Amino acid sequence: MKPRRERHGLVIVNTGDGKGKTTAALGVLFRAWGRDFRVRMFQFIKHTGARFGEQRAAERLGIRIEALGDGFTWLSKDMDRTTALAVEQWGRCREAILQGDDDIIILDEFTYAMHYGWVSVDEVIDTLKQRPRTLHVIITGRYAPQELIDFADLVTEMRMVKHPYETQGIKAQQGIEF
């Protein structure tokens, strides 16, 4: 591994309506793990204790993936609770970002918290500015706020060209979606 001082920490955003945002972040996590990077992933939205393929793989590899969600979404009936949860969860991510114990931190599906106004984009950018210089942060999810796109170093928009659910009604499958 290169000395830490030679690395340029990047803010990476995977957004858009096409599939591949979370899995691209997982691909980087896997690659970096192979380089002995200290990697950590926080998953918003997904239920705490979720046992998707990525959680199972991470467990075997000794990678920390923390599913923070309480299954809360923008469809929640109790918006005050949703907001409070999002703020609390962002607090944990913020602490990890500022702490400097990791080389890569992924905030999966975090764009929604900003898009729906549960967490302030300005505060997120402010925290990213204060992070250790070598820390890479990857944020995924649709509707990435423009301010975040402007601030980020690397932004990719996944665009849906064809999806089997749309064309054939094929639902989410093990190993491909979860």
Residue 14's SS3 state is strand
Q: Pick the closest to residue 107 from 39, 55, 157 (CA basis).
A: 39
- Indicate which single residue of 28, 50, 98, 158 sits in contact with ligand ATP (rule: CB under 6 A): 158
* 69-88 burial: b if 16+ Cβ within 10 Å, else e: bbebeeeeeeeeebbebbee
Decide if residue 127 touches ligand ATP (CB under 6 A). Answer: no
Decide if residue 132 touches ligand ATP (CB under 6 A). Answer: no
* CA–centroid distance for 37 within its chain: 17
Decide if residue 160 touches ligand ATP (CB under 6 A). Answer: yes
- Indicate which single residue of 31, 64, 133, 163 sits in contact with ligand ATP (rule: CB under 6 A): 163
Partner whose footprint covers residue 51, from ligand ATP, Mg ion, none (CB < 5 to 8 Å by kind): none
Q: Which residues contact 5 (CB under 8 A, 6 or more apart)?
A: 134
Decide if residue 177 touches ligand ATP (CB under 6 A). Answer: yes
Binding site for ligand ATP (CB under 6 A): 19-23, 109, 140, 142, 158, 160, 163, 165-166, 177
